[in-house]
Amino acid sequence: MTCLVFFFASFFTPRCRVLCNFCMGFMFFLRLVLFSTSSLFVLYVCYECSLVPIVVIILKWGSYPDRSFRCFLLLAFTSFFTLPFIYFLVSFYLEGGSFHLYCNSSNIGLFGRILFLFSFGVKLPIYGLHFWLPIAHVEAPTFGSIVLAGVLLKLGGVGLIRVLPFISVQSVVTVFLSYFVLFTIYSTLVCCWQSDFKRLVAYSSVAHMMFIPMLILADEVLSLKMSFVVMFMHGISSPLLFMLVSVSYSIFRTRQLVLMRGILTFSPLLSFLFVSSFFIRISAPPFPGFVAELFSFISLFNLSWFLVSVYILVPFFSLLYNVIWLSSSLFSSCSPVLVISGAFLSFKSFYPIFISIFVFVPVLSFFLAF
């Protein structure tokens, strides 16, 4: 998935390719080390250093003059929840004499398990720890948003899976289960009130990724498999929408859904891509997201039968905000901005969109089917 996301991002990189390639290469190296290491200390260092390429991208190609202050907020917010993890690393080494992930974890206590959950949940991000995400997405260029949504947000989920022996206790599930359910529904509702297309995609990532900690805390074979599938599908669908945001912005010179209208009247091809992305985003069959969400509900049923009965509202509200951006951009009357400026659509910008829809999504569907 990391290679796939970097391939998509390469189509939207600016002219200064040396710095872009260095940032993406450095991030790719950190992913390899993080996925393969068995040392808790090395995992923490790679996990924290992953923010450096994103900060460099925002500082170099950010959209607003106050991007340096926004980068400071991003670093300060994420560090506030992850720096206390150093204290746990020290105590963990003093007790066990090693940073190995599979040492005895019986003495870390409930506070240590919650600290683990917060440290990795801030990059998922779970609601309440997500305030850095809209700032980063709105500020970052298109290729930065693609890398951020497709790669960086998955580190939180992978980190939670790697430290699952430390947080998989019934007390943690009891404390956070109702919180996850309530704010997954709330974050999905927040998406329905967004007028900026890019902010809508950013907030939808929060609602989508809230599935992950619940599936991980279920601690079953099926739930862990579905957590990987959900992360993979989000790694395709979210960059796909950010690519559509970039193409739409090149036409309308705005991200406001009120002004993005009438795409169906001048570009049937782009309209078809919007509709295809819509069906992928809502996890409609036969796309693999449908299989992931179906088995995710089955996994969550083992946690609580009441959980599933309440959680059924999430697909409904998700359908609602996706219908909003689709109907606003395609089926409304033609935008006056478009009439005045005119639009030239380059087929080159459609390459990654075509590849993601017609190559990788069918391949993943075939893999899940068999």
**How confident is the model over 322-358, as pLDDT tens digits?**
998 998 888 876 655 554 444 445 556 667 777 777 7
User: Would the pLDDT of 142 be above 80?
Assistant: yes
User: Would the pLDDT of 369 be above 70?
Assistant: no
Domain count, the chain: 1
Residue 195 contacts residue 257 (beta carbons within 8 Å): yes
pLDDT of residue 59: 86
Average pLDDT over residues 71-91: 81
Q: Would the CA dihedral through 67, 73, 76, 81 be positive or negative?
A: negative
DSSP for residue 194: -
pLDDT of residue 44: 86
Average pLDDT over residues 290-313: 78
Q: Give the H or E element holding residue 197.
A: helix 197-209
pLDDT of residue 322: 92
Average pLDDT over residues 129-157: 84
Residue 243 contacts residue 8 (beta carbons within 8 Å): yes
User: Would the pLDDT of 14 be above 80?
Assistant: no
**How confident is the model over 240-250, as pLDDT tens digits?**
889 888 888 88
What mean pLDDT is reported for the chain? 80
Domain extent, residue 359, equals 2-369
Name the more confident of 285 and 200. Answer: 200
State how far the Cα of 188 lies from the Cα of 196, in Å rounded to an integer: 15
Band (pLDDT 50/70/90 cuts) for residue 108 is low
**Cβ density class 270-305: b for 16+ within 10 Å, e for less:** bbebbebbbbbbbbeeebbbbbbbebbbebbeebee
pLDDT of residue 137: 83
- 3-class DSSP state for residue 77? helix
Percent of the chain with pLDDT over 90: 2
Instruction: Give the residue from 129, 144, 140 showing the smallest Cα distance to 187.
Output: 129
Query: Environment class of residue 265 by beta-carbon count within 10 Å: exposed (0-12), middle (13-18) or buried (19+)?
Result: middle
Instruction: Give the residue from 203, 162, 155, 199 showing the smallest Cα distance to 51.
Output: 155
